[in-house]
Chain A
Amino acid sequence: MTTLTKTEDAPNPTGSDAFLSVRDLRVQFSTEDGIVKAVDGLSFDVERGKTLGIVGESGSGKSVTNLTILGLHSTQTTSIDGEIVLDGKELITAGEKEMEKIRGNKAAMIFQDPLTALSPYYTVGRQIAEPYMKHTGASKKEARQRAIEMLAKVGIPQPQTRVDDYPHQFSGGMRQRAMIAMALVCDPDLLIADEPTTALDVTVQAQILDLLKDLQQEFGSAIIFITHDLGVISDMADDLLVMYSGRAVERGTVREVLRNPQHPYTWGLLSSMPRLGGDTAQALTPIPGSPPSLLNPPSGCPFHPRCTFTGEVTGNRCAEERPTLGVGRASACHLTAEQKQTIFIDKIQPRLR
């Protein structure tokens, strides 16, 4: 192990009103090939009514983090360290009974692929009604009424009849709407949306994203929005966390991170994406190499083997010392703030035209 510095000791990096706070979370899976460090020292806060976006490539640990928050991991093969506090309640040590009370009630989740997340065996209406009955003790009839109401709210035409349909009778966009209805049925305070629109077409994606935004205003839930698409995040989130190899590498408001990014990985992501208004004569600048294995992550900064700016840092710090992520607006990189600013303005910004 290299020098492991505590990511944060400050109780609250963003403010006082954190509804969910995650501190120094470590999630490890033991597999046949060794221990996979899926999440390695992650801290963040989500405020009520705000949206936190988490971006990262596949394998960066963004989904695992959120499965852990809801306690959806397999307890036998997973070891978890750190602290997850939801509305004053510690979740890592909470028992299964307590988690059941929270799941679907206080915190709910929207999954990526609605076809696999919905059961083919039950009608859509029943699947929406189930958590409502369980958590509020409502009767079957009331729950059905509530399911119809929710379906209408998310824009399913003829909800009275569609409530008795099975998921296969719904189209992709409608299934995702039904998932949203299911997640919102108990009026949760925290909604975790794990790539909710990745499986959808762009025009449908636009509808669903706007729907989520409008529903958030109505329900006032906090949302954790996980995606690999920076465009979607730019549209949806208030705050942004960029993850790489199980760690947060950059944090700030969406505006700060996307308009004035400070981490080489974020630079790489932004300049490797073609944009609709971009200059087509300019070649894309990909990030060299490929994402690291989580079985055997690189020493020091996990991004250093792919980083083009390691030469600017004195000595061999990038390979030896793990950079820390400060409090508030911060990036985990050994470059000095001045260097970051000059590199961004001189080398990166011109590419983003």
Chain B
Amino acid sequence: MSDNLTLPEQQGATGTSVETLLEVEGLTKHFPIYGGFPIKRKVGAVQAVDGVDLTVGVGESVGLVGESGCGKSTTGRLITRLLEPTGGKISYAGQDITHASRRQLAPVRSEIQMIFQDPYSSLNPRQTVGTIIKSPMEVNGINPEGGREKKVRELLELVGLNPEHYNRFPHEFSGGQRQRIGVARALALNPKLIVADEPVSALDVSIQAQVVNLLQKVQEEMGIAFLFIAHDLAVVRHFSQRVAVMYLGKVVEVGDRDSIYNRPRHPYTHALLSAVPEVAVDDEADDKERIRLAGDVPSPIHPPSGCRFRTRCWKAQDKCASEEPPLIQLSGNREGHLTACHFPEDPTTEPRAEDVVMDPALKALEDGETEEPAAKTAGD
């Protein structure tokens, strides 16, 4: 797949030439756990985000993928400063906002907006659509030309809703329409960065595409940078020029779309990609490596030492337990494609000579009746 040949939509395919809008360094968030009686003391911490480095360029769309509990949503909330970081640094447009006070943040807040996952709980059921979309402007004292109401109607039209629905309540809308209201609210302040936290995962397949297309239109036409947080790898691939893969509070691999999806190096990225169920519309789709991990993601209260993926990794060695792999550019990788692994995989997603099956139950079942499943996956 050669880039740049298709459409001019990919502004700087590798995303290196773009001016940096948001820079996150070593971002950390530990949620304390209290226990004991009668005096509650801190007995531990959920290490939700533990040293995340990330940059988002002006007008760029960066995807953040990972499984539940990997800290991707927490990262989004830290960046919007809905949560106070434990450590690290967030700079927005060159300004350090890591621990900025309410007053210092006021001008920045309007430029960083958020779209939430659940369109049912993120809209106030007692307010009309007009009030919901208008309130960010009221809070920030913004008076657009022609009045706020006119602006709201324009926004409604922009997101594909009828401007006459100004006085309706959220319950009168379907899930997809509600998410459009959420998008309109995020756009009300002309933001430069939108953090979209799983914006389509609560929607039906046919509605998802409507919202993804809307977000894409908004991103391209208004030049808004997106941090697109999702667990669906196919949606992220469709939407983002650069992608970061998170595992247990850390970024394990980051790079341009093509590198992550076609030339992944980190074993976890390989495992994720191989686990995505794909519709076989033609014979090509069967050509994929098969990796089945064992168990679930470990608890972020006591994450494994060294490399956090080592407990589920098929290549893990002693070094992985003692030494944490740095997020670096491996030889042979493109610029900007960083991987945190001591023993990286080959940059391909082609089927392997032998499937990686870590799950003991699966292994037992498949070894017992080797011929069928093995032949099926390796043969064609």
Give the total of B residues in contact with A, Cβ under 8 Å: 56
**B-side contacts of A268, CB under 8 Å:** 206
Q: Does A235 contact B (CB under 8 A)?
A: yes
Assembled-state Cα–Cα distance A215/B368 (Å): 12
The proximity string for B residues 267-279 relative to A, scoring 1 for CB distances below 8 Å and 0 otherwise, is 0000111111111
User: Which positions 261-310 of chain B face chain A at CB distance < 8 Å?
Assistant: 261, 271-282, 284-285, 292-297
Q: Contact at B278–A203, with CB atoms within 8 Å? A: no
Q: Pick the residue among B273, B279, B296, B362 that contacts A174 (CB under 8 A).
A: B296
Assembled-state Cα–Cα distance A288/B67 (Å): 30
Assembled-state Cα–Cα distance A229/B274 (Å): 16
Chain B CB within 10 Å — which of A157, A210, A352 has the most?
A: A210
Name A172's closest neighbour in chain B (CB-CB): B296
Q: Contact at B237–A274, with CB atoms within 8 Å? A: yes
Assembled-state Cα–Cα distance A150/B282 (Å): 37
Chain B CB within 10 Å — which of A218, A259, A274 has the most?
A: A274
Q: Contact at B233–A272, with CB atoms within 8 Å? A: no
Name B217's closest neighbour in chain A (CB-CB): A283
**B-side contacts of A232, CB under 8 Å:** 277
The smallest beta-carbon distance between A287 and chain B, in angstroms, is 4
**A-side contacts of B280, CB under 8 Å:** 234, 255, 258-259
Q: Does A6 contact B (CB under 8 A)?
A: no
Interface size class of A (residues with CB under 8 A): 35 or more
Q: Contact at A284–B174, with CB atoms within 8 Å? A: no
Q: Does A58 contact B (CB under 8 A)?
A: yes
Name B283's closest neighbour in chain A (CB-CB): A259
Q: Contact at A155–B359, with CB atoms within 8 Å? A: yes
User: Which positions 166-204 of chain B face chain A at CB distance < 8 Å?
Assistant: 174, 176-177, 204
Name A199's closest neighbour in chain B (CB-CB): B68
Assembled-state Cα–Cα distance A206/B284 (Å): 20
Q: Contact at A210–B362, with CB atoms within 8 Å? A: yes
Say yes or no: A214-B373 contact (C-beta < 8 A), given A269-B205, A280-B237, A286-B207. Answer: yes
29 intermolecular pairs with C-beta atoms under 8 Å apart: A153-B361, A155-B359, A173-B296, A174-B296, A206-B275, A207-B293, A207-B294, A211-B362, A217-B369, A217-B372, A218-B365, A229-B277, A231-B279, A235-B277, A255-B280, A272-B206, A273-B234, A275-B234, A275-B279, A275-B281, A277-B284, A279-B6, A280-B238, A280-B257, A281-B7, A283-B216, A284-B238, A286-B207, A290-B207
